[in-house]
Amino acid sequence: MTAQEKILAKTLVTTGLSSAEIDNVRAGFKDRSFFSARIESVRDLQVKQQQVADWLGSVKREDGALTTRASAISAIMASAKREGIATGTGKVSDPGSEARAKVVVDTNADLARGYVGYVAGASTGARMAFPAVELIRGEERQTKRDWTSRWKAAGGQLYGGRMICLKESPVLTSLSRFGVPYAPFDYGSGMVLDEVDYDTCIELGVITEAYKPEGDIVQDFNATLEADMDFSGKTEADRQALAFMTDSFGDQVWLDSKAGKLKWKADIISELLKDSDAAKATSLRLGKPTSQAMEAAQEVGEDISGKALTMPGNMVKHEFKRHYGTAEKEQSNIPLTEADMRLLPNIWRFPDKIRKSEKGGLYIEMQSADGNWYRIVVSNFERDLKFKTFYKVKANPATGLPLRD
């Protein structure tokens, strides 16, 4: 997996949480998600994710130039202003500030690169040649954190005054604000990991000549992240963590009570798109509408308060096959991608418009960051709304509205 692919595989998650409150989210969920403190605009998150991915992949912009760090930062600042979430303070807490955009770009890009580097150095051969890593300063900072104290607090030792540990050491994950065994270990830290070769490890006493790498550290790490999303409900800590996740992210998460596992609903959509058995057995229920959705429905004389949106897995999978890639036959539509399908819960939560369809149902619509329109078509029953289809409509160049009804 490339760094670009790592970014694009993440679920867009809207949140009102601060960065400090996000620290309370378990690492398994953070690893699978792309979010930014106090950002509840799906379009803004789309821009952030795409710009970081385009920079990592050296993607050409519309003007033919390659996406650079500077152009990504500019696009993210412009997005915040366009969405009306820039506060104008210029501080890192201001979504429209250069300082905030730099944190978003650098942190996400560095974490993606860190993961790729971690995997590359995790093979048995790589760990034999370079058994350990050293925490060193990669970039200077005017105000430096006390990383030596943080290293010791995480259980790390000093070898010749150097912060060194084996690649499989739990020290790395304990040190990380993000719960991962690779840099960056905090926002704007400037600290990176440097590999330490076998002879140096012997000389410093990090290992003995009997050392042999054991296990698959990447597999173990991924298993830990997966287990991190388990909620047995048997402990008070589990109950509190579950309450925190459901209160913080609402209808973006779903609990499989039998398995005791909490998941992003977007991840469940990806699973059912790839697994016919899962599609047949799964029926997603998107809970009560947000005030934004209810107000949009009231504008066309519809009352959807208290109604859930039910989405049978086999229907979602079928409609994706109809509108995916070359299967899309409607000229006014844009072929769907899996990333589009993963946005279904967010479109339900934050629609820009809800309109009546000619066949008696409703169109639940949200404009994408690219200016085009997502449309969920639902049947409106007395007790709930039922998913019928989902597609992406081109915007009319003259009005910016969906090209067709």
- Report pLDDT for 404: 87
Model confidence at 300, in pLDDT bands (50, 70, 90)?
very high
Kindly report the pTM of this predicted structure. Answer: 0.94
pLDDT band at residue 97 under the 50/70/90 scheme: very high
Mean pLDDT for all residues in the chain? 96
> Residue 256: what pLDDT?
86
Give me the residues paired with residue 54 across strands: none
What does the pLDDT average to over 91-104?
Answer: 97
Average pLDDT over residues 19-45: 96
Backbone angles phi, psi at 177, to 5 degrees: -65, -20
For 214-239, the DSSP string reads -S-HHHHHHHHHHHTTB--S-SHHHH
Q: Report the pLDDT averaged over residues 134-161.
A: 96
What CA–CA distances, in Å, run from 140 to 16, 105, 191? 32, 18, 9
Instruction: Give the residue carrying structure tokens 């710009």.
Output: 51
Q: What average pLDDT does range 388-392 have in this prediction?
A: 97
How confident is the model over 325-344, as a mean pLDDT? 96
% residues pLDDT > 70 (the chain): 100
Residues 55 and 379 sit within 8 Å (Cβ to Cβ): no
Burial class (CB in 10 A: 0-12, 13-18, 19+), 374: buried
* 96 within 8 A of 86, measured Cβ to Cβ: yes
